[in-house]
């Protein structure tokens, strides 16, 4: 019976609330709209965050899948990948914590045949790879352990379902058929089921890891660059796996000090590698939208407090005729929950649109398994948020009732004096609202400045009117002498001449990579006259093979010396161009031209190379300040490079040259595929894409917070004016100037705004550290932050001035008769 009475009371309160909201459409509209924005935004961002959890990875027990990544301590920990001998030792010595390990790397291979040659995302994997992912083929088989033998690499391949359907017409007889990859025959042994894309998320082919590099290259312990996939044994924690990995790394450092000194092994959950910086971004946005929701709750709570003041005699009368405070609490919470439920309904529709917008506008490639949506988890989250908001909003007026003298409320007329405790409660809520809004506004300004600062970074070359692309040049099939390298079907000189002759091409150069394409590789080197180095400061450089016209085409300025001569172009070069950082490290204040460097240790028998030129530093890896300060060296391009990158300086829009260049290369040889086509401006722009995306969303949240805060301040000040109508009338009747009345009202609001600004500014220091650590270092004293604070103060003061002006226009006689 007690439960029945409870539900009857709740139903009565719901009907009463709906009638009350119908009688107060302005209040209902403002409150429900604010709650829709807050709850809808939180639901949308939660859906995105929820989609990055471990269960989003489409493999069995995904929380047990990890990556093992080799790193080196060079003052800061840098990821450098594993070597094949290291991998074999890891696999043999880490059997206590891992079921098994598999080497994994991704490359682009050229699939040729009857159709157009195509560059295909390919994973080089060890045989345990598929069993670690609990993946079984739809047709045929995966790799056997004997196909992992580096000395006798087997040319077999497993196809993805998509590639099988697209290139082989879903032919079930494809097993055993030969396909051509990079000019070599491979035998198809299996087809994976639909939805399997490997750990790189977009793989279409899988080949044995033994094909990763020539056997002599894989035998070198210092030749690193791939990661290792592992599955934790049941019950093994990530900390235990990391501890064992540390022990193995220390053991290898003692056994192989030359190659493994200061080398470590990082054990990272696969889900962290899958979603990377996206998880940090969406969590930052989750905090931001949570602040918006708190501001919404504060706003609605202040509105309800104002309504409870209007209804104070009604509430006092209810208490006088026997209503308990618990019954009043139930009614107030029911009213607020009805409001939040209506806001949640609107929020679900808003969240659906917002999630779709966030996914389509994402600046980073999203995993195929990343499917945010309004599922049951999102629905539960929305209900939980709505209930929490309802309780928080409903408790504020109830606390006000608790501290009020209800017997006095029955005796007083509505002269408009609420108690000091009630005023303090409302004022505290306004200060908290302002502080949170300041945090969001300053955060948005910091992100804007980080984007502007990143855009202002000089890349070391001129990206305008520059087209970049890559090609894969197959080897000629003509017989060659034993021991001589296969010659390409076209030479670099033929490519330069053909493309350089096209109308609209001002200059063209080629190399093994171009800036910001992610293909740079590092090597150890030694310099003539160098001192003694440890693993932490051993010289390391990024190596680029380029044609002589590369620096002029990219407009990379020379500090000293010259570019390569045609006579210096050789697979074993004797000349080298270096960046400023290398020259200043070893020969400060000296002329570096004619100095010599070599690859490997200084004691090695590798040939010396003479420096013929020094160029400005180029930001090859990333546009933001690079954590590693290793220099770049440039060697003459040799035709032994199968993967070629082009830099084409144009006199017309770069995108318009794609078709003519493609046709020119096709005329030279139709078997050459093009890929990675992008204007350099686009590559530079992409470097700040994540920051720009977060800036855009944070700006929206900051705008919402600014609007909500202005509405909240306006509401509170309007209520203050209404409560003090008689007092204002008396002051005006006694001769007070309207300016004095306005100043008194505005000063009260200004004090609240100032308190919130001070608290929010202190909190912004912590936010500044997060932004600087993850994006670009921006000082909190930046003018943009000051402008944001000034804008907020102006909006807040305007919200105080409007009700203040209304108060100065009161007729004293009307105000004196106000009830």
Domain match, 221 and 297 both: no
Residue 678 belongs to some domain of the structure: no
Residue with tokens 């389509």: 360
Residue 681 belongs to some domain of the structure: no
Residue 232 belongs to some domain of the structure: yes
3-state secondary structure of 717: helix
Structure tokens at 440: 């969001």
Domain match, 108 and 200 both: yes
Q: Is the pLDDT of residue 423 over 60?
A: yes
| Cα 747 to Cα 766: distance, rounded to the nearest angstrom | 30
Domain match, 588 and 543 both: yes
Final residue of a domain: which of 226, 261, 296?
Answer: 261
> In sequence order, what are the residues at sequence separation of 6 or more whose Cβ sits closer than 8 angstroms to the Cβ of residue 475?
183, 486, 487, 488, 489, 642
Short-list 418, 507, 430, 438, CA closest to 750: 430
Question: Which whole number is the average pLDDT over 348-374?
Answer: 76
Q: Which domain holds residue 175?
A: 75-261
Residue 675 belongs to some domain of the structure: no
| Cα 112 to Cα 672: distance, rounded to the nearest angstrom | 9
Final residue of a domain: which of 670, 705, 729?
Answer: 670
Alpha helix segments (H runs only) across 361-485: 376-403, 406-411, 420-455
Query: Could you tell me the maximum CA-CA distance found in the chain, to the nearest angstrom?
Result: 112
177: left (phi over 0), alpha (psi -120 to 50) or beta: beta
Q: What are phi and psi of 185, to 5 degrees?
A: -80, 135
Question: Which whole number is the average pLDDT over 373-382?
Answer: 80
3-state secondary structure of 417: coil
Q: Is the pLDDT of residue 20 over 80?
A: no
Q: Are 539 and 558 in contact (CB under 8 A)?
A: no
pLDDT band at residue 701 using 50, 70 and 90 as cut-offs: confident
Domain match, 489 and 558 both: yes
Q: Which residues of 182-205 are buried (b: 16+ CB within 10 A; e: fewer)?
A: bbeebebbbbbeeebbbbebebbb
pLDDT band at residue 317 using 50, 70 and 90 as cut-offs: low
Question: Which whole number is the average pLDDT over 568-589?
Answer: 89
Higher pLDDT, 808 or 160: 160
Higher pLDDT, 410 or 749: 749
The per-residue pLDDT for range 42-71, each reduced to its tens digit, is: 888 888 888 777 667 788 888 899 999 998
Domain match, 106 and 50 both: no
Domain match, 700 and 774 both: yes
Final residue of a domain: which of 635, 670, 705?
Answer: 670
Domain match, 430 and 392 both: no
pLDDT confidence of residue 413: 46
Domain match, 431 and 532 both: no
The per-residue pLDDT for range 68-111, each reduced to its tens digit, is: 999 888 777 788 889 999 999 999 999 999 999 999 999 889 89
Domain match, 388 and 441 both: no
Domain match, 307 and 216 both: no
| Cα 277 to Cα 233: distance, rounded to the nearest angstrom | 28
| Cα 768 to Cα 397: distance, rounded to the nearest angstrom | 35
Residue 102 belongs to some domain of the structure: yes
Residue 82 belongs to some domain of the structure: yes
Structure tokens at 168: 């082989």
pLDDT confidence of residue 646: 93
Total number of domains in the chain: 4
| Cα 379 to Cα 376: distance, rounded to the nearest angstrom | 5
Structure tokens at 431: 């200060």
pLDDT confidence of residue 540: 85
pLDDT band at residue 485 using 50, 70 and 90 as cut-offs: low
Domain match, 604 and 734 both: no
Short-list 53, 794, 19, CA closest to 381: 53
Residue 677 belongs to some domain of the structure: no
Higher pLDDT, 686 or 103: 103
Structure tokens at 272: 């962290």
pLDDT confidence of residue 794: 81
Q: Is the pLDDT of residue 555 over 70?
A: yes
| Cα 586 to Cα 21: distance, rounded to the nearest angstrom | 78
Residue 543 to residues 289, 601, 616, 635: CA-CA distances in angstroms? 45, 16, 15, 7
pLDDT band at residue 415 using 50, 70 and 90 as cut-offs: very low
Residue 50 belongs to some domain of the structure: yes
pLDDT band at residue 267 using 50, 70 and 90 as cut-offs: very high
pLDDT confidence of residue 467: 95
Q: Is the pLDDT of residue 302 over 80?
A: no
pLDDT-above-70 percentage for the chain: 82
> In sequence order, what are the residues at sequence separation of 6 or more whose Cβ sits closer than 8 angstroms to the Cβ of residue 327?
9
Give the relative orientation of helices 376-403 and 325-360 as an angle to the nearest 10 degrees: 140
Q: Is the pLDDT of residue 231 over 50?
A: yes
Short-list 54, 48, 43, 55, CA closest to 381: 43
Domain match, 497 and 643 both: yes
């Amino acid at each position: 019976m007690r439960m029945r009475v409870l539900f009857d009371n709740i139903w009565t309160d719901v009907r009463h609330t709906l009638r009350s909201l119908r009688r107060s459409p302005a209040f209902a509209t403002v409150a429900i709209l604010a709650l829709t924005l807050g709850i809808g935004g939180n639901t949308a961002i939660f859906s995105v965050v929820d989609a990055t959890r471990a269960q989003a990875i489409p493999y069995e027990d995904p929380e047990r899948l990890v990556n093992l990544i080799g790193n080196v301590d060079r003052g800061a920990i840098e990821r450098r990948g594993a070597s094949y001998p290291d991998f074999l030792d890891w696999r043999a010595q880490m059997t206590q914590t891992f079921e098994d390990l598999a080497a994994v790397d991704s490359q682009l291979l050229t699939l040729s045949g009857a159709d157009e040659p195509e560059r295909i995302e390919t994973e080089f994997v060890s045989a345990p790879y598929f069993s670690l992912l609990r993946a079984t083929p739809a047709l045929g088989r995966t790799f056997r352990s004997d196909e992992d033998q580096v000395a006798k690499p087997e040319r077999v391949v497993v196809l993805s379902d998509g590639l099988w359907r697209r290139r082989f017409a879903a032919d079930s007889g494809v097993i055993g058929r030969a396909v051509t990859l990079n000019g070599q025959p491979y035998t198809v042994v299996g087809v994976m089921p639909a939805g399997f894309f490997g750990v790189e998320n977009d793989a279409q082919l899988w080949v044995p890891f033994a094909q990763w590099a020539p056997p002599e290259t894989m035998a070198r312990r210092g030749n690193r660059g791939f990661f290792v996939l592992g599955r934790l044994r049941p019950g093994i924690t990530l900390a235990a796996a990391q501890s064992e990995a540390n022990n193995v790394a220390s053991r290898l450092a003692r056994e192989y000090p030359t190659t493994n000194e200061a080398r470590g092994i990082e054990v990272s959950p696969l889900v962290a590698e899958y979603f990377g910086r996206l998880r940090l971004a969406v969590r930052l946005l989750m905090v931001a939208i949570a602040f918006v929701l708190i501001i919404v709750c504060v706003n609605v709570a202040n509105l309800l407090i104002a309504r409870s003041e209007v209804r104070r005699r009604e509430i006092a009368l209810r208490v006088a005729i026997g209503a308990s405070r618990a019954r009043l609490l139930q009614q107030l919470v029911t009213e607020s929950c009805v409001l939040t439920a209506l806001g949640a309904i609107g929020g679900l529709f808003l969240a659906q649109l917002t999630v779709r917008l966030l996914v389509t506008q994402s600046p980073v490639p999203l995993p195929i398994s990343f499917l945010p949506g309004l599922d049951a988890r999102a629905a539960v989250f929305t209900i939980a948020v709505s209930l929490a908001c309802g309780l928080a909003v409903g408790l504020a007026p109830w606390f006000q009732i608790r501290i009020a003298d209800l017997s006095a409320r029955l005796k007083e007329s509505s002269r408009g004096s609420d108690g000091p405790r009630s005023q303090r409660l409302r004022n505290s809520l306004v200060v908290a609202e302002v502080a949170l809004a300041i945090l969001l506004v300053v955060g948005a300004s910091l992100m804007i400045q980080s984007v502007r600062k990143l855009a202002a970074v000089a890349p070391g070359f001129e990206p305008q009117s520059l087209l970049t692309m890559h090609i894969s040049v197959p080897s000629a099939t003509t017989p060659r002498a034993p021991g001589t390298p296969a010659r390409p079907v076209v030479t670099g000189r033929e490519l330069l001449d053909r493309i350089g002759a096209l109308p609209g091409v001002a200059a063209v150069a080629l190399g093994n990579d171009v800036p910001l394409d992610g293909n740079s590789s590092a090597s150890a080197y030694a310099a003539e006259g160098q001192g003694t180095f440890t693993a932490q400061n051993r010289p390391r450089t990024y190596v680029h093979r380029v044609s002589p016209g590369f620096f002029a085409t990219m407009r990379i300025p020379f500090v000293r010396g010259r570019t390569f001569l045609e006579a210096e172009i050789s697979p074993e070069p004797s000349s080298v161009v270096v960046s400023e950082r290398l020259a200043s490290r070893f020969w400060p204040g000296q002329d570096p031209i004619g100095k010599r460097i070599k690859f490997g240790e200084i004691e090695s028998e590798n040939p010396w190379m003479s420096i013929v030129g020094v160029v400005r530093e180029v930001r090859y890896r990333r546009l933001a300040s690079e954590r590693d300060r290793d220099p770049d060296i440039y060697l003459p391009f040799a035709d032994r490079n199968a993967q070629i990158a082009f830099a084409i300086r144009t006199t017309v829009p770069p995108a318009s040259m794609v078709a003519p260049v493609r046709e020119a290369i096709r005329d030279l040889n139709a078997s050459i595929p093009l890929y990675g086509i992008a204007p350099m401006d686009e590559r530079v722009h992409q470097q700040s894409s994540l920051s720009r995306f977060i800036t855009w969303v944070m700006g929206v949240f900051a705008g919402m917070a600014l609007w909500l805060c202005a509405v909240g301040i306006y509401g509170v000040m309007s209520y203050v004016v209404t409560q003090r109508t008689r007092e204002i009338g008396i002051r005006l009747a006694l001769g007070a100037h309207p300016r004095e009345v306005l100043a008194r009202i505005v000063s009260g609001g200004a004090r609240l705004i100032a308190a919130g600004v001070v608290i929010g500014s202190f909190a912004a220091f912590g936010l500044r550290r997060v932004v600087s650590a993850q994006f670009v270092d921006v000082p909190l004293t930046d003018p943009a932050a000051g402008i944001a604070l000034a804008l907020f103060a102006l909006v807040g003061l305007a919200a105080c001035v409007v009700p203040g002006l209304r108060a100065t226009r009161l007729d004293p006689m009307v105000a004196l008769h106000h009830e």
